[in-house]
Chains A and B, each alone.
Chain A
Amino acid sequence: SQQGEEDPQALSIQEGENATMNCSYKTSINNLQWYRQNSGRGLVHLILIRSNEREKHSGRLRVTLDTSKKSSSLLITASRAADTASYFCATDGGNNRKLIWGLGTSLAVNP
Chain B
Amino acid sequence: GAGVSQSPRYKVAKRGQDVALRCDPISGHVSLFWYQQALGQGPEFLTYFQNEAQLDKSGLPSDRFFAERPEGSVSTLKIQRTQQEDSAVYLCASIRGGYNEQFFGPGTRLTVL
Contacts and interface: CB of A to CB of B under 8 A. Distances in A.
Given A43-B91, A98-B48, A88 B42 contact: yes
A31 to B, nearest CB: 6
Contacts of B72: none
Interface in B40-83: 41-45, 48, 55-56, 59
Nearest to A4: B42
A45 B101 contact: yes
Interface residues of A, number: 22
Given A42-B104, A45-B103, A2 B91 contact: no
Nearest to B31: A97
A103 interface: yes
Contact of B42 (A2, A45, A48): A2
Nearest to B50: A97
8 contacts: A1-B44, A2-B41, A31-B100, A33-B101, A96-B100, A98-B48, A100-B45, A104-B41
